[in-house]
Amino acid sequence: MGRRGTNAGPPRVALALGLCALLTLLAPLLLERDAPPRIDAQELARVVDRQNRTISLLQEQLRRPAAPPPRRTDASREPQRAPPPPRRVDRELQHPAPAPRRVDPAPRDDAWRPVEITKDDWVVYLRAQKTGSQTLWTTLLDVFDGGAWGPRRCVRGPFCGHRCENVLRDAFIKASKERKCHLFVRAHANLYDYQRAFESVNKGGRVHYLAFLRDPVKRALSEHDHITNGLVAQFGPHVFGKAWDYDFTDRTRASLSDWLGCAVCRVGASNRQARFLAGLATTGELAEGEGTLIGDARLYDAAARNLRACVFVGVLDRFEESMLLLKETFPGPLRNFRSFADAPHPKLGRRRAPDAAALARLRELNAVDQRLYDEAKVLFDARFASMLAATATSQRFRKRGGRYVLS
Please write the tens of the pLDDT for every residue from 324-338: 999 999 999 999 999
Q: Is the pLDDT of residue 85 over 60?
A: no
For the chain, what is the domain count? 1
What pLDDT, on a 0 to 100 scale, did the predictor assign at position 307?
Answer: 97
The whole-angstrom distance between residue 197's C-alpha and the CA centroid of its chain comes to: 25
Q: Is the pLDDT of residue 8 over 70?
A: no
What pLDDT, on a 0 to 100 scale, did the predictor assign at position 38?
Answer: 53
DSSP label at residue 169: H
Q: Which CATH number characterizes residue 206's domain? A: 3.40.50.300
DSSP label at residue 317: G
Q: Is residue 327 part of a domain?
A: yes
Mean pLDDT over residues 142-146, rounded?
A: 93
Q: Is residue 61 part of a domain?
A: no
Q: Is residue 9 part of a domain?
A: no
Q: How far apart are the C-alpha atoms of 162 and 264, rounded to whole Å?
A: 13
Please tell me the pTM assigned to this model.
0.72
Q: Is the pLDDT of residue 55 over 80?
A: no
Q: How far apart are the C-alpha atoms of 127 and 137, rounded to whole Å?
A: 8
Q: Is residue 19 part of a domain?
A: no
Q: Is residue 49 part of a domain?
A: no
Residue 195, classified by CB atoms within 10 Å of its CB into exposed (0-12), middle (13-18) or buried (19+), is middle
Q: Is residue 221 part of a domain?
A: yes
Higher pLDDT, 23 or 325: 325
8 Å CB contact between 284 and 244: yes
Higher pLDDT, 342 or 368: 368
Cα angle 285-286-290, degrees, rounded to a multiple of 5? 175
Q: Is residue 204 part of a domain?
A: yes
Backbone φ, ψ for residue 355 (5° rounding): -80, 170
Sign of CA dihedral 275, 278, 284, 286: negative
Q: What confidence tens digit (pLDDT) does each residue in 174-230 have?
A: 988 888 899 999 999 999 999 999 987 766 789 999 999 999 999 999 999 999 998
What pLDDT, on a 0 to 100 scale, did the predictor assign at position 195?
Answer: 94
Give the range among 60-74, 86-100, 101-115, 254-268 with minimum mean pLDDT.
86-100
Q: Is residue 62 part of a domain?
A: no
Residue span of the structural domain in which 309 resides? 122-406
Q: How far apart are the C-alpha atoms of 276 and 278, rounded to whole Å?
A: 6
What pLDDT, on a 0 to 100 scale, did the predictor assign at position 26?
Answer: 55
Q: Strand, helix or coil at 207?
A: strand
